[in-house]
């Protein structure tokens, strides 16, 4: 992966700086706006954002109904959202149905709710194999589904982004919403894992 010339920056850094430099000089963008976005995604948004949504849905049935009806509007109630997502479709896991999300053509992902996707989500292997042999891929990632479970694979194409609402694990009746949120992982909200309670 190293393409860094001796004593210099990698070509990717040079090219990115050059693009930003041109746009700066043209007055199209100012670096402060870029800083804002980077700061927002490094500090404010990530899997914990989505975990708040899931925990709220687990503890508030009316919120859950609103979330399943219109994901973005429900997230906005929690102050979550951004201009980068136009439609958020929330799909609910049950004992009979498991949902998993992929973007076959590129790497679409609900950025304002989950932050940036992991490397494997963007990989050629995941994007092609999750459609061809989803059960096998899930098993390789540590999630073995019984044959009785219906598996739905959602392709993030066009303007729609998906968020998986995982099953609330058994034995968590006594936990608060905030405690529940700490159990929810990024992988569970993509659908390649279940939420577990130790």
Partner 1 sequence: VSGAPIELLSRASADRTVSPEELVFETPWSARLFGLTLALIRAGHFSVHEFQQSMITEIRAYEVMGCIDSNATYYERWIEALLALLRRKGTIADGALAAMEARVRAATPPRHTHDHDHHHAPQPIAVSR
Instruction: Record the tokens describing residue 5, joined without a space.
Output: 């010339």
From candidates 49, 93, 99, 185, binder to partner 1 by CB under 8 A: 185
Q: Using CB atoms within 10 A of its CB, is residue 143 exposed (0-12), middle (13-18) or buried (19+)?
A: middle
Cα 8 from Cα 172, distance rounded (Å): 53
* From 106, 123, 158, 176, the catalytic residue: 106
80 near partner 1, judged by CB under 8 A: no
- Which residues fall within 8 angstroms of residue 172, CB to CB, at 6 or more apart? 180, 183, 197
* Contact assessment for residue 102 and residue 156, using Cβ atoms and an 8 Å cutoff: yes
From candidates 69, 76, 97, 125, binder to partner 1 by CB under 8 A: 125
Local structure of 37: helix, strand or coil: helix
Cα 90 from Cα 77, distance rounded (Å): 15
Indicate the residue among 63 and 107 with the shorter CB distance to partner 1. 107
Interface segment toward partner 1; rule CB under 8 A; list 29-37, 55-63, 69-77, 162-170: 29-37
Look up 107 and say whether it is catalytic: yes
List residues binding partner 1 (CB under 8 A). Answer: 1-2, 4, 6-10, 12-23, 26, 28-29, 31, 33-38, 41-42, 46-47, 83-84, 86, 105-108, 115-116, 118-120, 122-129, 137, 140-142, 158-159, 185-186
Catalytic residues, by residue number, are: 103, 106-108
């Amino acid at each position: 992966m190293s393409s860094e010339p001796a004593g210099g920056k990698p070509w990717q850094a040079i090219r990115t700086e050059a693009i930003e430099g041109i746009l700066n000089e043209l007055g199209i963008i100012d670096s402060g706006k870029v800083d804002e976005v980077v700061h927002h995604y490094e500090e404010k948004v990530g899997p914990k954002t989505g975990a708040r949504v899931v925990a709220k849905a687990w503890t508030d049935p009316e919120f859950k109904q609103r979330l399943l009806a219109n994901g973005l509007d429900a997230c906005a109630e929690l102050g979550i959202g951004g201009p980068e997502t136009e439609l958020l479709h929330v799909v609910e896991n049950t004992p009979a149905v498991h949902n998993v999300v992929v973007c076959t053509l590129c790497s679409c992902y609900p950025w304002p709710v989950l932050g940036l996707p992991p490397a494997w989500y963007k990989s050629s292997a995941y994007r092609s194999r999750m459609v061809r042999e989803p059960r096998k891929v899930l098993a390789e990632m540590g999630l073995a589904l019984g044959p009785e479970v219906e598996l739905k694979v959602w392709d993030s194409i066009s303007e729609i982004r998906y968020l998986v609402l995982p099953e609330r694990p058994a034995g968590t009746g006594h936990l608060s919403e905030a405690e529940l949120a700490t159990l929810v992982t990024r992988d569970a909200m993509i659908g390649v894992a279940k939420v577990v309670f130790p």
